[in-house]
Amino acid sequence: MAFTAALMLAGALFGWLRARSERDENTFREVRVSRDEVRVAVTATATVQPDNRLEIKPPIGGRVESILIEEGASAEKGQVLAWLSSLERAALMDAARSKGPEELRRWEELYRPTPLLAPMSGTVILKNIEPGQSFGIGEPLLVMSNRLVVKAQVDETDLAGVKRGQAAEIVLDAYPEHPISGRVKKIAFEGKLVNNVTVYIVDVIPDHVPAFMRSGMTANVTFVIESKPDVLVLANDAITVRQRSRTVLLRAPSGEFVTRKIETGVSDGRNTEVVSGLAEGDVVLAPAYKPGAKKASSPLTPFERIRGAGGR
């Protein structure tokens, strides 16, 4: 009986020491209130696609004589993109060519090739033909786009923060060091399921399309919902939230830390705007946990990591 009681006492002591050791591993750091920008934003994955993709199909079947444009080049509406020969003209030119250059030149003047015209102003994004190749009626030879647009998949829970004309930042996965500014052009009225999540397609028009931007590229689009420059900010984990009240541990002139109630504004998920209760340069305490250490679960700790801090 005594032996069992001793084992229970030893187990309890071991548990207490272990819990105290884990709590002691939790340390604190000093955080200074500073002025900075707080930007509330929504981020979504996206794909670069043509705003208006147009396949250029020939009116006849035959052979390509020459191509006057390359992929990536711009063309104006009505511009000649290629010269085509019908099957009859191609056969006639081959026969004349076998009789010498003068005979070929004479038939070329008598029987002109058919031009392939650009139906709109834009950029050639795909070329399916080369000189000398044969083609059939209705076969797309070139593909044009009037401009590139970034189609973002915005979660339905974030859609309320996205408006037409709103500023957005585009970061291509292939060129993350070159962000591109843009504007929201259109928001889809019908959602679709992507991985069991309802998303809405939002078209973003780049303010400037760089030369390295290509159709089919993947990107991340950040929609700026609200931006407040030059405001007092504080790290979120330095704020304690209890019953809609927000407090911090502020270092007083005496050097001691006292509880101070504050009012907060918007939050970007990392930092929160401080509306009142603190001044620039004030020092407050925030938790700093050692790698692998467990957070203290004592109800007396003044730090509870807030979720969605920023509401008043």
Mean pLDDT of the 125-130 span: 90
Q: For residues 152 and 204, give the distance between their C-alpha atoms in angstroms, rounded to a whole number.
A: 7
pTM attached to this predicted model: 0.60
> Long-range contacts: 268-271, Cβ < 8 Å, 24+?
268/38, 268/39, 268/40, 268/41, 269/236, 270/235, 270/236, 271/36, 271/38, 271/233, 271/234, 271/235, 271/236
- The pLDDT assigned to 2 comes to 53
Mean pLDDT of the 94-106 span: 91
Structure tokens at 274: 């401080």
Inter-residue contact 122 to 147 (CB < 8 Å): yes
Band of the pLDDT at 26, cuts 50, 70, 90?
low
Mean pLDDT of the 16-23 span: 48
pLDDT of 140-163, one tens digit each?
999 999 889 999 999 999 998 899
pLDDT(56) > 90: yes
Q: For residues 40 and 228, give the distance between their C-alpha atoms in angstroms, rounded to a whole number.
A: 9
Structure tokens at 209: 């399309």
Structure tokens at 175: 């060129």
pLDDT(227) > 50: yes
Q: For residues 282 and 109, give the distance between their C-alpha atoms in angstroms, rounded to a whole number.
A: 87
- The pLDDT assigned to 307 comes to 31
Inter-residue contact 128 to 116 (CB < 8 Å): no
The percentage of the chain sitting over the pLDDT mark of 90, rounded to a whole number, equals 54
- The pLDDT assigned to 25 comes to 46
Q: For residues 222 and 213, give the distance between their C-alpha atoms in angstroms, rounded to a whole number.
A: 17
CA torsion sign, 14 to 17 to 18 to 19?
positive
Inter-residue contact 294 to 19 (CB < 8 Å): no
The percentage of the chain sitting over the pLDDT mark of 70, rounded to a whole number, equals 84
Mean pLDDT of the 31-46 span: 90
Residue type, 167: A
Least confident of 11-25, 185-199, 289-303: 289-303
